[in-house]
Chain A
Amino acid sequence: MLSLNNIEVIYNDVVLVLKGLSLEVPEGRIVALLGSNGAGKSTTLKAISGLLKPENGEVTDGEILFQGQPIHKKDAAEIVRMGIFQVMEGRRVFEHLTVEENLRAGAYTQPLGRFSEDLALVYNYFPRLKERRNQVAGFLSGGEQQMLAIGRALMAHPKLIMLDEPSLGLAPLLVAEIFEIIRRINREQGTTILLVEQNARLALESAHHAYIMENGRIVLDGSPADLKDNADVREFYLGLNEIGSRKSYREVKHYKRRKRWLS
């Protein structure tokens, strides 16, 4: 459904952030994109959604195809209308608007007649938002804001939702709840999901396929089961040692183990 071929992204005409990145998101699946800080995960999402331009970034090479059409030259509004919706990192709800006004803003590209039906759908997934529909979004808890951010995406009827760190800054119980809803949306609405996460364990549990990126490139990909067995992934992303127990930092060796995919 979505494919990135050898994408190169440059910020401010000099900083090369993505260096020939390729990935594939098949329809109806949940695909996870993992990696450490600064690997270029958010940049990848912004390259897809057309949000690079306001940050002075540019796709300089390669192509991004969505349902067979190149989209890397289109602007953000067109891309949303084509059915790709990015839920940005840090939730980014409109703090001075009420919950319902936030959802109306999410439905900006949709015909007015559909609004109440879509609203009911969002409230069905997130009953808590319904209780707080007339509250100003800035005063919601972090978890509720994340729900609102995802609800806002649903209002736009996207074929593909891109979630940037939905677990950021949330309590573990809430994270579990939100991931459960993400899986439900994928199952019940058939929405394809591209998930960026630092929490690798969580992401591997939900995804059908995962990519690991480092320094602007994909270094590894495979099914979650395969990745969970990979020694490097276990050590660097899941924090487990060779035997599979939790790593003890008392016994961490002083030299740094070399990742095998870098060479």
Chain B
Amino acid sequence: MDRIIQLALSGIANGAIFALVALGFVLIYKSSDVINFAQGELLLIGAYLTYAMVEQFGLWWPAGVVVAVALAAVVGVLIEQLVLRPLIGEPAISVIMVTIGLSSLLRAIVGAIWGVTPRPAPQFLPTDTVTILGANVGVDRIWAFGLAIALFALLTLFFRFSREGIAMRAVADDQQAALSMGISVKKVWAVAWAIAAITAAVGGILLMSIFGGVSGTIGRVGLLVFPVVILGGLDSIPGAIIGGLIIGLLQSFAGGLLPPEWGLGEVAPFIILLFILLVRPYGLFGQRIIERV
């Protein structure tokens, strides 16, 4: 029983991180119909920038994190402006190919700057454990979960009540109509990429702290964004959150309860991905167009 609770709690914590990363993906897809295969590399960039700030430049870690997240946002906006802006109006498949290429390019740039061998990273989240319901849970996981929830709450407020947030949802709904009321679609895209880069960077930093090191594996977590968003619905923000938690739990249980030689922990999310595509391709919360009768 303790083991199950422990697996559940660590699954939820991982799931919250997946959800953060998926959220950025969904935002980009909703506002500009771009399927961003380079989402995992945004994670990697966030983590390595933080590493550079804290370890290489010796900044106090909260300052380092803030600077790194800000820089990640700048990288996001630059990618949008330099790479995706010229592709407006091109077929979806070209855009997908470009984001796949972009992911290789970004990984190579990170490799060129920081090398490919894993490096130990600062663990700024506390590493001790607490006992919840009889299970030992790392405090860093609880922090990760709490931070993810706080970020979600902020973003929800942003989309409900701020002018830019409402403009972003308007663009997601009907781009031309949004344009007709003076909403700058280009600005909305830039904001979407900035937010995606920020959430991914925060996800990357949390993972770095949990792993105690930075390496290419952090970028691999970006792959898990696909099961998450397909499960939750490509264009649904609540779907990204719930999908993230479900995939986190699933991965944790499949890896912890089934015989380890099956190696299902890594694969289970993708089995779900296949299954969802077969039975419910728009996901749990994906938008089906509202039709008035």
Q: Known: A94-B169, A96-B169. Contact between A156 and B174, CB under 8 A?
A: no
Nearest A residue to B180, CB-CB? A86
Report A68 CB to chain B, min CB distance, Å. 21
Report A140 CB to chain B, min CB distance, Å. 8
Cβ-defined contact, A49 with B180, below 8 A: yes
Q: Known: A51-B176, A88-B176, A96-B287. Contact between A156 and B169, CB under 8 A?
A: no
Tell me whether B136 is interfacial, beta carbon within 8 Å. no
Cβ-defined contact, B182 with A97, below 8 A: no
Cβ-defined contact, B173 with A94, below 8 A: yes
Report A132 CB to chain B, min CB distance, Å. 14
Bound: A105/B175 CA distance, A: 12
Which among B167, B287, B290 has the highest number of chain A CB atoms within 10 Å?
B290
Report B160 CB to chain A, min CB distance, Å. 8
Q: Known: A88-B176, A152-B181. Contact between A139 and B290, CB under 8 A?
A: yes
List the B side residues contacting A76 at CB < 8 Å. Answer: 179-180, 182
Cβ-defined contact, B163 with A104, below 8 A: yes
Nearest B residue to A142, CB-CB? B292
List the A side residues contacting B166 at CB < 8 Å. Answer: 97, 101, 104-105
Cβ-defined contact, B163 with A80, below 8 A: no
Q: Is the interface of A mostly helix, strand, loop or mixed?
A: helix
Tell me whether A60 is interfacial, beta carbon within 8 Å. no
Cβ-defined contact, A94 with B170, below 8 A: yes
Cβ-defined contact, B181 with A106, below 8 A: yes
Bound: A141/B184 CA distance, A: 29
Tell me whether B178 is interfacial, beta carbon within 8 Å. yes
Determine which of A80, A102, A104 lies in contact with B180 in the assembled complex, contact meaning CB atoms within 8 Å. A80
Give residues 262-293 of B contacting A (CB, 8 Å): 287, 289-290, 292
Bound: A141/B292 CA distance, A: 8
List the A side residues contacting B135 at CB < 8 Å. Answer: none
Cβ-defined contact, A80 with B176, below 8 A: no
Interface string of A13-27 (1 = CB under 8 A from B): 000000000000000
Bound: A240/B179 CA distance, A: 40
Cβ-defined contact, A95 with B290, below 8 A: yes
| A-B residue pair count with CB separations less than 8 angstroms | 83
Which among B177, B183, B287, B290 has the highest number of chain A CB atoms within 10 Å?
B177
Give residues 58-85 of B contacting A (CB, 8 Å): none
How many residues on the B side are at the interface (Cβ–Cβ under 8 A)? 23
Give residues 60-118 of A contacting B (CB, 8 Å): 76-77, 79-81, 85-88, 92-97, 101-102, 104-106, 108-109, 112
Tell me whether A28 is interfacial, beta carbon within 8 Å. no
Bound: A95/B288 CA distance, A: 12
List the A side residues contacting B172 at CB < 8 Å. Answer: 96
Determine which of B177, B183, B290 lies in contact with A77 in the assembled complex, contact meaning CB atoms within 8 Å. B183
List the A side residues contacting B175 at CB < 8 Å. Answer: 54
Cβ-defined contact, B180 with A85, below 8 A: yes
Cβ-defined contact, B178 with A105, below 8 A: yes
List the B side residues contacting A88 at CB < 8 Å. Answer: 176-177, 180
Report A183 CB to chain B, min CB distance, Å. 23
Bound: A87/B170 CA distance, A: 15
Bound: A95/B174 CA distance, A: 9
Bound: A108/B289 CA distance, A: 25
Bound: A86/B170 CA distance, A: 16
Cβ-defined contact, B176 with A92, below 8 A: yes
List the B side residues contacting A141 at CB < 8 Å. Answer: 292
Nearest A residue to B291, CB-CB? A138
Report B99 CB to chain A, min CB distance, Å. 22
Which among A87, A92, A108 has the highest number of chain B CB atoms within 10 Å?
A108
List the B side residues contacting A96 at CB < 8 Å. Answer: 169, 172-173, 287, 290
What are the 10 tightest A-B residue pairs by CB atom distance, in nearest-first order?
A: A80-B182, A138-B290, A92-B177, A94-B173, A109-B182, A105-B170, A77-B182, A76-B179, A95-B290, A94-B170
Binding site for A on B (CB under 8 A): 89, 163, 166-167, 169-170, 172-184, 287, 289-290, 292
Binding site for B on A (CB under 8 A): 49, 51, 54, 56, 76-77, 79-81, 85-88, 92-97, 101-102, 104-106, 108-109, 112, 136, 138-139, 141-142, 152-153, 156
Residue pairs across A and B with Cβ atoms less than 8 A apart, 12 shown, are A56-B89, A76-B180, A76-B182, A93-B177, A95-B174, A95-B290, A101-B170, A102-B170, A105-B167, A105-B170, A109-B182, A138-B292
Given A80-B182, A109-B181, A138-B292; 7 other pairs, CB 8 A cutoff: A54-B176, A92-B174, A92-B177, A94-B178, A96-B173, A101-B170, A108-B182
